[in-house]
Amino acid sequence: MLRPFELAEPASVGEASALLARHGEAARLYAGGTELLLAMKEGLVHYDYLVNVKTIPGLGGLRRDGDGTLRIGAAATHRAVERDPVVREHFTALARMEADVANVRVRTVGTLGGNLCFAEPHADPGALLQVFDATVRLERAGRARTLPLEALFVGPFETCLEGDELLTEIAVPPLPPRSAAAYLKFGFLERPSVGVAVAVTVADGHFADARVAVGSVGPVPRRMREAEAVLREKAIAESPAALEEAGRLAARAADAVTDLHGSAEYKEHLVAVLLRRAFRQALASLGVREPS
Amino acid sequence: MAPETLAVVGRSVPRLDAREKVTGAARYVTDLALPEMVHARLWRSPVPHARLHGVGVERAAAAPGVLAVCTAADLPVRRLCYGPAYKDQPILADGVVRYAGEPVVAVVADTPAHAEAALPLLDVRFEELQAVTTAEAALAPDAPLIHGALDPAGHFRDLSGLRPIAGTNVCHHWHAERGDLAAAFAEADLVVDDAYHYPALSHHALEPHCVIARVEADGSFTVWTGTQHPFPVRRELAEIFDVPLARVQVIVPLIGGAFGGKCYTKIEPIAAALAARVRRPVRLALSLEESARTITRHAVTVRLKTAIRRDGTLLARECDVVLDTGAYADIGPRVATKAGYRAPGPYRIPHLRIDARCVYTHNVPAGAYRGYGVPQVTWASESQLDGIAERLGLDPLALRLRNLLKRGEEYVAGDTPMDGDLAEGLGAVARAVGWGVPDAPGRGQGLACAMKDGGGTHTVSMAVVRVHADGSVSLFAGTVEVGQGARTVLAQIAAETLGVPFETVVAVAPDTALTPYDHGTSASRSTTVMGLAVQAAARDAREQLLRLAADLLGTDPAALDLRGGRVVHGDRALSVAEVVRGHFGLVGGEVTGVGTFVPGAWSGSLGGATVFWETGMGAAEVEVDPDTGAVRIHKYVSAADVGTAINPRECAGQDEGAALQGLGPALFEARASEAGQLLNPGLIDYRLPTFLDLPDRFDTLLIENADGPGPFGSKGVGESGTFCAAPAIGNAIARATGVRLREVPMTPERVWRALQDARPKASAS
Amino acid sequence: MSDVAVAVTVNGERHELTVPPWETLLECLRDRLGLLGTKKSCDVQVCGACTVLLDEEPVSACTLLAFEARGRRLRTIEGLAEGDDLHPVQEAFVEHGALQCGFCTPGMIMATVALLQENPTPTPDEVKHYMRGNICRCTGYKSILEAILAASRRLAPGAETGRGA
């Protein structure tokens, strides 16, 4: 049962920032509430003020820039991303991932921005967006900054947002030509236990680029740069061995924790398995057959 | 199959409650409100074991809207403790807390929000004590004793032989043996001895526990509750408040699922005591998480030692069953007895020794759960059997067929002989899953078979059928509609027996002030036991109607037939309404039929004879992902011997639902606890089966030989579907991978670990 | 604390409400509007017993704040049948025995209506994926799946008995 709180509905980002500044830790941004309200109902957290970002004009939409970058407003719901024709065509892996977040009711109400800012460790979007090199725009009264998404996540339920700052936009650049992304998750509870995202660019029979991110396993979703380095410039003919090595490195770097979802050891193992499978899926979508 | 002469029995008529349920008009206890009603919330212990040093209630009592703050000492009751086996459970903790989540203080306020807001204002002073949170720890010689002297409830005949072991945490030890174990083990070609574990589960009926209690002006109690046992709850409340049974009225509307979690008394005494205290109707509605802290399924460890001949003939079995019953016994002792009784499985085993021990721990109390111990012991016995088949190089189906009890054979001397054809059912699921056809690469098939004594032990049901002056019929049966379709099926039996159209029968919801006595809605007993009472009541009414009609027609009752709501005599006919009105000469009057089912006199080791044998068979085809350990179920086929299906679709629905409910604990469902703290009370971390768990092929076979003791040859159904899922799947995994798990759920990680452990060490680097 | 003015259309009927910001849609529907068909169960958006349609999209009433319904249209289980005529989805649930205790049924039916509006001819796998957030503890889902596919056939364009969902 929710305890009483005051609702603030600012008309601009500046006004929202000022409200956050004024009420400090007694206030929290409210973007969909699918995570926040659960925590408040359970009594884990309480805020005297919820600041609704969804009524701020201009934060809801999705658009694609001239350079192909996808710009997702902070108030865009998972459903909006999942069903957007542009996303489905140009960011297929993102649309697929979004279509598999929680259940349809959560996706109807929950926002992608809210999901990222809540920083629940067992979540899908954080990992996949990182392999797109997504950035987030953080704004406060009179100032804005753009950070790589990776920098947003500080710890479980903890972001780098300043007290009076709000996320206003997620920018997802397009992958280079001859690239594909894939996200695979595994688990048997309501939330994912392990999520592995990859993006691969193929040129002349080798990996021109390879990106890997792992989510749900450790405290925060993370890019796995050592694993990427092993793959980059490798010939696809050598990929089985390289993927095995990359899997090992990603597993070690994933900072796995033991919890109800499973042991750290098992999750590390799954990271390697999913990494291999995700690459295979991405390559297949490019029409590239990985040697077995 | 039902004979063609039957009008409504054997037909899948739509449920009587279908329309109200699809339109949202159905009303459950959680939907009811009374004038002046107030709301209770509970402060629950955060620790599993503590001594209470007092409660500062002043701030909470002064909070907005609060009417009363009650500790155990503040409850206006004549006895504080209750329970169906022992009077061991206090309505609110009294001096000592015995599990994390135990209710300690109750707050009553004008709104739920006010009651909730007052809880943090309570100052509960307690000293945490060492907790014993596994059965193994509780059985240790130096384990602290969780209860002192036990006070048997004396409510049920089968529990008159409770055997606590003094000076230990064992609240009931059931023991049985026959034959010569030592000789049999010496003679055997193979002896297998291993142990299996089944964890505690949450029932998670979608409607959490809810009670509304009101004390009437004359001191009577009226209680609306979603209980499976209105009459035992009535008796419990009468004892708590020291009032006659006639002064307690328990009313049960529709229930949003139960599965045993609403058996016997749960939170009714708290609501009733608070209503007596504040003299206003009190509503106590739990959250789903609180329901998970109210009752669980027993975690069970089963050690089985089995002796067998090379040809596959079972010789002897030693069964040691240990059940963690939590802080209060609830119906645990009966679950222990039944688990022990059923542990050997549906086989001919000449030499047996069985010990079942029900052990107190500082965990949430464990009680009834669909199958009363069968899923736990079947997990062990049917898994071990496949292990034996593998060791002996025998086909698991052939091994079972060699040993299965035959129709008419006794399981235990003196108890009801086997009343069905086990081999027929097992053969049917084997054929349906494609047994004998070589497994596809990466796939494996598995079988299991189980039975339980069905219908409850020495239980009584009564029913009344009232035929009104317009020909419509009221059926008064205390069976609770938990979703199983009981109202519909009992109305079918009444309509068929009376000879009136099904549409004319109205089944009245259980109300202890109106409906006659019934033991309760459990043990798959309603179609058979209550069905017989309903049939007897309908026959009684029918005979009266025929006598009255004979008088009116000037003939002999034997010359008359009553069907389709008309009494036929040659080419003359009278409607039922014309008979009733003709007799009374008025537009009023009615014919009342009374029926009773009283069990036979035999009392063996269970305390009564088995009414019917509820048998279940399952067959699975699975595929295991060797990289992740994930198990995919391609096929699952379940069979239930229903004797005669009164309503085939509802029978199939019972079995399908039970089988899918069984897949949960087989693969992923379990309560996770650490040091007595439940880590997954709610549905974020406690996974229930979803649509995605529906196997690609999922079938139910109903075995119908009209050989049951119930009306029209029926037997009970509803629990058997849960028996076989875990071992059938475990056996299929073993066939697919060569590894056998001895603990459920068979989560991907457990399967993966077992695969890792089985890999030859040399190549495992 | 300042309440929020909410003008909302519920099952075709307009309501002008004033709700505290912390009131959930479930509390609003059940306690304020007396629409008791929408059920409270898990309270964490997993089980789907409280599924209602907000502008024809499925939401969990247990965790959606009531003020979010302002200016929008709500549909609950009470808004499906027209007089004595059941909605085709309701009919299919009755005919296929797709319910037992019935506590999940209103949410299950509302989710089905939303699914069939979005995807009038779903495959069994599409049904399972869409409906996985609606839990039934009783039926084992098979009969519900059959009912949903039957309702889809009935509602499909050209079906004789179909009427708009």
**Three-class HEC string of B25-83:** CCCEHHHCCCCCCEEEEEEECCCCCEEEEEEECHHHHCCCCEEEEECHHHCCCCCCEEC
Residue A30 has pLDDT above 90, yes or no: yes
B410-426 tens-digit pLDDT: 999 999 999 999 999 99
Q: Give me the residue label for tokens 């002046």.
A: B36
Find chain C residues with C-beta within 8 A of A3's C-beta.
Answer: 22
B254-302 tens-digit pLDDT: 999 999 999 999 999 999 999 999 999 999 999 999 999 999 999 999 9
Contacts 24+ apart (CB under 8 A), B569-574: B574/B549
The separation between the first and the last C-alpha atoms of chain A, rounded to the nearest angstrom, is: 54
Please identify among residues 290-319 of chain B the ones whose CB lies closer than 8 Å to any CB of chain C: none
Residue A275 has pLDDT above 80, yes or no: yes
The dihedral through the CA atoms of A263, A265, A267, A270 has a sign that is: negative
Q: For residue C22, give the nearest of A3, A102, A106 by CB distance.
A: A3
Residue B607 has pLDDT above 80, yes or no: no
Cβ atoms of B420 and B578 within 8 Å: the answer is: no
In degrees and rounded to multiples of 5, residue B662 shows phi and psi of -75, -25
Question: What gap in Å lies between CA B342 and CA B377, rounded to an integer?
Answer: 7
pLDDT of C162: 42
pLDDT of C157: 74
The token pair that represents B579 in the structure block = 């008979």
pLDDT of B1: 41
Q: How many other C-beta atoms can be found within 10 angstroms of the C-beta atom of residue B145? A: 11
Record the pTM. Answer: 0.97
Find chain A residues with C-beta within 8 A of C51's C-beta.
Answer: 105
Question: What gap in Å lies between CA C110 and CA C37, rounded to an integer?
Answer: 11
What type of residue is A289?
A: R
A140-173 tens-digit pLDDT: 988 999 999 999 999 999 999 999 999 999 999 9
Residue B765 has pLDDT above 90, yes or no: no
Q: For residue C94, give the nearest of B14, B27, B205 by CB distance.
A: B14
Give the up-direction half-sphere exposure of residue A51: CA atoms within 13 A in the CB hemisphere. 26
Residue B611 has pLDDT above 50, yes or no: yes
Residue B531 has pLDDT above 70, yes or no: yes
A258 in contact with chain B, both atoms CB, cutoff 8 A: no
Question: What gap in Å lies between CA B387 and CA B740, rounded to an integer?
Answer: 8
pLDDT band at B763 (very low <50, low <70, confident <90, very high): very low
Residue B2 has pLDDT above 70, yes or no: no
Question: What gap in Å lies between CA B650 and CA B637, rounded to an integer?
Answer: 17
The token pair that represents C112 in the structure block = 């089905």
Asked if C109's CB is within 8 angstroms of B207's CB, the reply is: no
Nearest CA in chain C to B286: C41
Q: How many other C-beta atoms can be found within 10 angstroms of the C-beta atom of residue B577? A: 18
pLDDT of C1: 57
Nearest CA in chain C to B484: C100
The residue among B534, B17, B515 whose CA lies nearest residue B256 is B17
Question: What gap in Å lies between CA A160 and CA A147, rounded to an integer?
Answer: 10
B433-479 tens-digit pLDDT: 999 887 788 899 999 999 999 998 889 999 999 999 999 999 999 99
The token pair that represents B601 in the structure block = 């006199």
pLDDT of C160: 52
Helix (H, G, I), strand (E, B) or coil at C62: coil
Q: Give me the residue label for tokens 């056939």.
A: C153
Residue B667 has pLDDT above 50, yes or no: yes
Average pLDDT value for residue range C106-112: 98
Cβ atoms of B129 and B52 within 8 Å: the answer is: no
Give the up-direction half-sphere exposure of residue C141: CA atoms within 13 A in the CB hemisphere. 27
Determine the residue among A41, A51, A96, A103 to mutate to test chain C binding: the one whose Cβ has the most chain C Cβ atoms within 10 Å.
A103
Residue B158 has pLDDT above 90, yes or no: no
Give the gap in angstroms from C-alpha C106 to the nearest C-alpha of chain B: 6
Lowest pLDDT segment from A233-237, B244-248, B600-604: B600-604
Cβ atoms of B328 and B89 within 8 Å: the answer is: yes
For all residues of chain B together, what is the average pLDDT? Answer: 96
Helix (H, G, I), strand (E, B) or coil at B529: helix
Residue B762 has pLDDT above 70, yes or no: no
- How much of chain C, in percent, has pLDDT values that exceed 90? 93
Find chain A residues with C-beta within 8 A of B668's C-beta.
Answer: 188-189
What type of residue is B496?
A: E
pLDDT band at C159 (very low <50, low <70, confident <90, very high): low
Average pLDDT value for residue range B146-174: 94
Contacts of A250 (CB under 8 A, 6+ apart): A196, A212, A214, A224, A226, A227, A271, A272, A275
Residue B4 has pLDDT above 90, yes or no: no
pLDDT band at A253 (very low <50, low <70, confident <90, very high): very high
pLDDT of C163: 45
pLDDT of A119: 97
pLDDT band at C164 (very low <50, low <70, confident <90, very high): very low
B98-134 tens-digit pLDDT: 999 999 999 999 999 999 999 999 999 999 999 999 9
In A24-166, alpha helices (H): 36-41, 78-83, 85-90, 92-98, 104-109, 112-118, 125-131, 149-152
> What is the DSSP secondary structure assignment for residue B528, as one 8-state letter?
I
Cβ atoms of C41 and B206 within 8 Å: the answer is: yes
pLDDT band at C156 (very low <50, low <70, confident <90, very high): confident
The residue among B128, B146, B124, B155 whose CA lies nearest residue B60 is B124
Question: What gap in Å lies between CA C37 and CA B289, rounded to an integer?
Answer: 22
Question: What gap in Å lies between CA B697 and CA B434, rounded to an integer?
Answer: 12
Which neighbouring-strand residues pair with B595?
Answer: B463
**Backbone angle region of B206, left / alpha / beta, with phi > 0 → left and psi within -120 to 50 → alpha:** alpha
Exposed/middle/buried for residue B589 (C-beta within 10 Å: 0-12, 13-18, 19+): middle
